[in-house]
Chains A and B, each alone.
Chain A
Amino acid sequence: MKIIVVDDEIIQLDRLKETVAEVVPDCELNGFSNPLEALEWSKENLPEIAFLDIQMPVMDGITLAKKLKIQNPKINLVFVTGYYEEYVFDAMPLHFSGYLQKPANAQKVRQELDNLRFPLVKKESEKKLRVKCFGDFEVYIGDKPLNFSRAKSKEVFAYLIDRKGSKVNGNKICAVVYEDVGNETSNKSSLRSCIADIKETLHSVNADNVLIKGWDSYAIDTSLIECDYYDWEKNEPYAIHAFRGEYMAQYSWAEETLAYILNK
């Protein structure tokens, strides 16, 4: 996470830098008393968050913010000013992430960083698969959706994701995914084909270990995937922000989990 702090008054600059460093000690933090230097640095380094004083000689904070947005439209702008009401209307067209009265204490800075206009998500870790449950269910390898050869296979995989690592037997999967369609024998046969398809699809992206198969039991190794729903349960800010009222929207059986999320 790259953060810049810009204030022409050195004392204010140092104070805010200290506060930001206290809240996010592992961020890459750079302070500038000269807005032009901040702009030059940002051109190469594209910070994600900028705390900006407004009233500055050389270049005021509003103008600096406009130029930073051209460099990076997703930059989170947090104005920090002693002239609170004076600049609100000038700042608003920039869709700032935050607007604070000086001095900005650690609590206020933390609040801003927890509620960014353009939330930051973690980089892809060593986990290969990324699962999106909010909105439509989708599985990604890198930025590309993973293609199951059968829609039902994807649905079975979604159900296992929904179970969060718990083992599920074939009868239960059939009861949920097939509902009242078909007979038991044909559904079980179809399920076997789906599991074979899931295994093959995971194998094609070197993610074989994600599916744990026992005798008539199936589960997901949750430690091998990134999942917005799992991160939501851990109160990860990006996941909380990602939830827009829909969970695995294609699957009616997912409504139970959706109700749980909405009630939490």
Chain B
Amino acid sequence: MKTATTGALSNGRYWIAHNSGVLTAVVLFVAMFTLYISNHSAGLTPAVATTAANKAVLLALVAMAQTLPVLTRGLDLSVGMVFVMANCIASVIVVGTVGEGMLGIVAVLLIGALAGFINGAIVVWGRLQPIITTLATGAVYYGISLFVRPGPGGDVQSDIADLLTGQLFNTVPAALVVLLVVVLVVWIPYRRSVLGRAAYAVGSNEQAAYMSGVPVQKAKLLAYTLAGVLASVAGLMLTFNTYSGEASAPIAGTYTLNSIAAVVIGGTSLFGGWGSAIGSIFGAFVLRTIEDLLFVFDLPPLWQPLFQGVVLLLAVSLGAFRILRVRNRLELFS
């Protein structure tokens, strides 16, 4: 296991080295967001911040979901589909009074957990590769989304939706509070739990973790299940933003792929065992701010996809700096 929480703060240099990936993403985001705000005609008003937050929190939650399987050296290509499925189901059952809406939210979260658990069960007990498993279950979840909502539409409980996508005390974007609550209620306890640390161990070296008595299977099951829960939280937030549901394969695909990019930009290793969901949040913020920057700088619309692609490629290429650090060429073949 490459991480140690105790005594990390007492050794500042160690802490910085350990979190360099997250810090890079944070610095990148702050720099880009400052550039964005300073060029925005309205400046940093609560309305501008809320719009930015509502968009960014969706990808941040999906990226957090992606982080958990990646830490165990897995991958979840179905996060986007679970996200869309939660969106479609929420647009059907999160309706009525506030109480009924809350029940609906709980149901959607349970469905997300079940979807993630199925992924985990096939990976753990079926012993199939995560990539191909989640590719196939993603198709199933997309089919269910289409079944629930053949065409775009639906509705959502508007009181809850307005509360969660508006502003708290007219200043703080509520979506950011939701994200903070998710971090405090899901990520921090998970990171400190036995199974959370086991996930890092499994990602570092599954064989060694198994020999050391680490609960490998439980750790993987929990990682995929929580990924399903987080993806469905994102799906709920999407529903609250759009007041409708849509079974869209392009949206699902974009979120899946961007979530992987956000995870990498946030300093998490795709080879497992290294990184954190906090980094992924800022990775997602960076990706979102790129789009906003293109908007304020008035780039010709035709150039935007190319610019976005080049920035994405450069951002993920930052990982290439590790080849300067290796002492032995054989370390490269991981």
Chain A partners chain B: no
Listed in ascending order, the chain A residues whose CB lies under 8 Å from chain B are none
A-contacting residues of B (Cβ < 8 Å)?
none
